[in-house]
Structure 1
Amino acid sequence: MTRSQSAQYPAPRRPVTSLPYDVQSTIRSLDRRYIQTDPNEASNQESLDPRYRRVVKHHHASFFVLGRVFKMLWTEPAGQSNPGRTRNSTHFSTVLYGQTAFSEIRRFVVVRNKGDFSQCIPIQTYKGQGATKPGLVMDDHGVIHTSSLAPNLLPGENLTKYSVQVQPFKDERLEAASRVNYGKAYAVEHNVKVLEVGMILEGHRYLIQQYFDSAMQS
């Protein structure tokens, strides 16, 4: 099936209400935070980069563990601004019913493996603004880095959480402005195509869970 044909016949999405109650509460019933793959897609590779692959099922339990950092292709509906153009590394395209969507590579940290999916939190640079981007809850954010030393905070940042370090996989690196958002949970199915970025150092992993649980309760 071609990309255009698959766009005409999108796979049905499991409603958020079918997720376990504790997961529903953390994603606040926002369907865009439940990330699925297309079950009609037979290939295990993304055309943009053959390194993006689905994790073999019997490795789900060992790959999707607390502290695993990975990246994946992310697509969501676009607003009315700049349709048909690119937004930095984001590419706009026309999908079903003539609507516009954009795709980009996003990074996530696994917090909990829930069987056939994991609760994950996002890593973003916010176009180099870090946690100073207007509208963010700064207290929900923290520094995450692959460098041996934590990068300096950006002007205007007042982050109180300890930084967490990632042991990178091969030549993967995080930009200095990378921030992890403990207050925004996503449910990511285990059969999406991913590329490993690395693993949070063992001594820092408890911080991920602690900060996530605290943010979800506030």
Structure 2
Amino acid sequence: MCVPINSYGGRGVGQKKMGPEMQAHAIVYPSYIDPPPGPPPEEPRFTKRPIAVDLNQGHDWEAASPIHFGKSQSVEWNVKVMDIGFIAQKSLADFDAFWREEYFPS
């Protein structure tokens, strides 16, 4: 299972009419950037903290590509996925909490 990261056609989340679903997203950024970046000006202020990713060699990052905790995707032969790296140790607790918050709301 994967949690998707999507550029929404380069428009980001702010251009979509998502309503409350917007807050199921968080900024994803390369772990070597400190401090974490904020959202682009046209993006909403997310309530979830940014998630750091240790990128695999040869991968770069688009600033307008948030992670969507409210959606999961199984990896199957007909689904396009890319192994970009791993959640950085410093963001693992947040990642787990945000995922649980979306899938097991209280």
Q: Which TM-score bucket, shorter chain as reference?
A: 0.7 to 0.9
Count of matched residue positions in the alignment of Structure 1 and Structure 2: 99
Q: Which of 71, 79, 83 is 1:184 aligned to?
A: 71
Is the CA contact 1:166–1:199 (under 8 Å) kept in the aligned structure 2? yes
Q: Name the TM-score, length of structure 2 as normaliser.
A: 0.78
* 1:123 positional shift: 0.1
Q: 1:152 to 1:182 in 2, by over 3 A?
A: same
Give the number of the structure with larger relative contact order, counting CA–CA contacts within 8 Å between residues 6 or more apart: 2
How far does the alpha carbon of each residue in 1:35-78 deviate from its partner, in whole angstroms, 9 at most, with x for none?
xxxxxxxxxxxxxxxxxxxxxxxxxxxxxxxxxxxxxxxxxxxx
Distance 2:13 2:39 in 1: 9
* 1:129 positional shift: 2.6
Q: Map 1:101-140 to 2 at 5 A.
A: 119-136=1-18, 137-140=21-24
Q: Does residue 1:158 correspond to 2:45, yes or no?
A: yes
What letter matches 2:14 in structure 1? T
Distance 1:193 1:152 in 2: 28
User: Larger Cα Rg: Structure 1 or Structure 2?
Assistant: 1
Distance 1:163 1:129 in 2: 19
Q: Kindly indicate which of the two structures has a greater share of residues assigned to strand.
A: 1
How far does the alpha carbon of each residue in 1:159-192 deviate from its partner, in whole angstroms, 9 at most, with x for none?
01110111111120120111000001112249x7
Q: CA RMSD in A?
A: 2.2
Identity rate, percent: 26
Q: Map 1:1-218 to 2 at 5 A.
A: 119-136=1-18, 137-146=21-30, 148-149=33-34, 150-155=36-41, 156-189=43-76, 195-218=82-105
* 1:130 positional shift: 2.1
Structure 1: which 5+ residue stretches go unaligned? 1-118
Is the CA contact 2:27–2:38 (under 8 Å) kept in the aligned structure 1? no
Flag as ranges the 4+ runs of structure 1 deviating above 6 A: none
Distance 2:46 2:85 in 1: 23
Q: Name the TM-score, length of structure 1 as normaliser.
A: 0.41
Distance 1:195 1:138 in 2: 23
* 1:195 positional shift: 4.5
Is the CA contact 2:28–2:50 (under 8 Å) kept in the aligned structure 1? yes
Is the CA contact 1:138–1:158 (under 8 Å) kept in the aligned structure 2? no
Distance 1:209 1:171 in 2: 26
